[in-house]
A and B are shown apart, each in its own frame.
Chain A
Amino acid sequence: MAAVTLSNVVKRFGVYEVVHGASIDVRDGEFVVFVGPSGCGKSTLLRMIAGLEDISGGEIAIGGKVVNDVEPADRGIAMVFQSYALYPHMTVEQNLSFGLRMNGNPKADTDRRVGRAAEILRITELMQRRPKQLSGGQRQRVAIGRAIVREPQVFLFDEPLSNLDAELRVQMRVEISRLHKELGVTMIYVTHDQTEAMTLADRIVVLNAGHIEQIGAPLDLYDDPANRFVAGFVGSPKMNFMAAKVVGIESGAATVELANHRGARLRKPLSQAPPAVGSDVVLGIRPEHFFDAGRGDCDISVKADVAEHLGSVSYVYADAGDEELIIEREASRQRASGDHITVSIKAERSLLFDTSGGRIR
């Protein structure tokens, strides 16, 4: 087991800088998820930790030892690839033992490690099969098994579940979580799926365009995002953003008027200095934080376009001026298309952002 420390890590491909000084402290035994949209630099960061990409600047330390110039095999890490990267011409058993055999590891120890990995991942009966004879989930298990036999200090996962179907993804997510508890080692996991991040992580690192936007526990990011990007990225369906204007300031609170809902005003208590009267702001409200009319601080009326009925809840996609809102309602089998519905919002369940995306607390 080992802590992983990234200090001001930079990655450049030619003249293009894709990671701009990332600093992250992954504690010993922690499960940290790097999450962000495609091209945000999360996989590059993981590959730099693995040693598969050079580091253009900064420092990476594993277990207190700087590894910038250490060979990938000597970093004490094991990596699970998105495409599994199994050796197609070898059986499962050969895939698991290949690295150990090539390095002259004693056969008894190799057999013990392979047997243990197969047991943990319940793939003992698949040992003589080749990768093409396995399902996607089984291949992923073998890929994880190959990482386990290395007995690494740190596990790195690069979008390991993105090639699996939805049901299998949920199942493997639970297995990876179980594995982390069982092995107790540090794990760093890259995904673009915020649900995976929320369910697996002790802490999440949200990346955007090579910058770290926020690091925190899943529910902290959900409840208290640092900016509009994090607020929009964490949570599914994503947070609604409504244009608003500050129309009044009192002691410790700002009154905002929603631009697309004439006369709808909300008094929002603030701990920081409020923005000036007349300034444009953005009000963020999660789909699940709309209440029945009259139950909140301010009612708005919208025209429902489409309703998705998921059984336990329904999502109403509503048109409000040039904004589209997603509103979570209790399960309803009524057709909502074209209906006007009135919902209520609460100041305490809303977030305020300035127009550049920064949070106004």
Chain B
Amino acid sequence: MRTQNATAYRFLAPYLLIFSIFWVWPIISSFLISFQATRTVPWRFAPTFNWGRLIGDPAFFNALENTLLILVIQVPVMISLAIVMAVLLNSPLLKARGLYRFAFFAPVVVGEVAYSAVFRLMFNLDFGIVNKLLNSVGLPKIDWFSNVTPAMAVIMIAVTWRWAGYNAIILLAGLQSIPDDVYEAATLDRVSKVKQFFYITLPLLKPVIVFCAVLSIIGTMQLFTEPFLITERGGPGGGTETLGLLLYRQGFRSLNFGYASAIAYTMAGLAIAITLVQLWLTRDPK
């Protein structure tokens, strides 16, 4: 058995070596870097330098607030929308189901840069289709990218557009695993379709909903592309800057790797904490 294990590890060695160098080591290294002052040459060990700055940095709290705001509004809206989409996709009345399934999933396949560019165009003040539509129903134009609230809304709309279908497909798999005869039993019990949804579908779908929510929370905590490309580096005036963007700005624009590492670990810690709280809140009763 020992010889067999040794052989297996020899086969695994190339992968483990590369994995350690490019994956495990950066994780450890960035943790160590977060305790160093990296704006001096050479770097020096200063345990409270970055973490102390983090606690009192208004830019960090601005990014944290923006990220949490997106998380609190966008994730529930997107998951609710995904549930509705999944239920519609699961309906026996739906024709051309495959086409809809593809259409809902397609945004995930579209390149991030391409879709961001399209969203910028769509919400353009003078030529964008959104403002044209608003005008056509008698509403005034909105300057989407010069004010914080509309800019934030554009980011939330874009992220929702991109990921709702993806979550709907995961939820659809969950819906299809609920046996038909449970609904038939409820029909015989004279339980209306609406009550069946709230009292049977939602509780039985809960593990899948939680899974989607956890994935979305982790994704939103790392949100970068949309504020970087759609609202031009977290504009206007940092109003849509997220933690991911702040990390990028500190690490790769200011080359302050120590502070960027501290931000990265804060993001990971927050994602884990929020996920744990959520798992605890939605746990099955004993």
C-alpha spacing A71/B204, complex, angstroms: 25
The minimal Cβ–Cβ distance linking A71 to chain B, given in whole angstroms, is: 8
Asked whether any CB of chain B lies closer than 8 Å to the CB of A88, the reply is yes
Which one, A50, A86, A88, contacts B188 given CB within 8 A? Answer: A50
> Could you say which residues of chain B place their CB within 8 Å of the CB of A98?
186, 189, 191, 199
The minimal Cβ–Cβ distance linking B201 to chain A, given in whole angstroms, is: 11
Asked whether any CB of chain A lies closer than 8 Å to the CB of B143, the reply is no
C-alpha spacing A33/B226, complex, angstroms: 65
> Could you say which residues of chain B place their CB within 8 Å of the CB of A82?
181
| B188 close to A102 (CB less than 8 A) | no
Known A85-B179, A89-B203, A89-B204: A77·B188 in contact at CB below 8 Å: yes
C-alpha spacing A52/B203, complex, angstroms: 24
Closest 8 CB pairs of A and B: A99-B189, A73-B190, A85-B181, A85-B185, A89-B203, A102-B191, A81-B181, A72-B188
> Could you say which residues of chain B place their CB within 8 Å of the CB of A89?
203-204, 206
C-alpha spacing A86/B203, complex, angstroms: 14
Residue of B nearest to A74 (CB): B190
> Could you say which residues of chain A place their CB within 8 Å of the CB of B181?
81-83, 85
Asked whether any CB of chain B lies closer than 8 Å to the CB of A150, the reply is yes
C-alpha spacing A252/B127, complex, angstroms: 101
C-alpha spacing A146/B204, complex, angstroms: 19
The minimal Cβ–Cβ distance linking B190 to chain A, given in whole angstroms, is: 3
A85-B181, A146-B185, A146-B189 known; 16 new pairs, CB 8 Å cut-off, are: A73-B187, A73-B190, A78-B188, A82-B181, A83-B179, A85-B179, A89-B204, A89-B206, A98-B189, A99-B186, A99-B191, A102-B190, A102-B191, A102-B199, A103-B189, A103-B190
Which one, A81, A87, A102, A146, contacts B184 given CB within 8 A? Answer: A81
Chain B: residues with CB nearer than 8 A to chain A?
179, 181-182, 184-192, 195, 199-200, 203-204, 206
Residue-wise interface mask of A (5-16) relative to B, using a CB-CB cutoff of 8 A (1 in contact, 0 not): 000000000000
Asked whether any CB of chain B lies closer than 8 Å to the CB of A205, the reply is no
> Could you say which residues of chain A place their CB within 8 Å of the CB of B182?
85-88
The minimal Cβ–Cβ distance linking A98 to chain B, given in whole angstroms, is: 6
The minimal Cβ–Cβ distance linking B199 to chain A, given in whole angstroms, is: 7
Known A85-B179, A85-B181: A79·B204 in contact at CB below 8 Å: no
Residue of A nearest to B184 (CB): A52
> Could you say which residues of chain B place their CB within 8 Å of the CB of A73?
187-190
| A72 close to B179 (CB less than 8 A) | no
The minimal Cβ–Cβ distance linking A191 to chain B, given in whole angstroms, is: 17
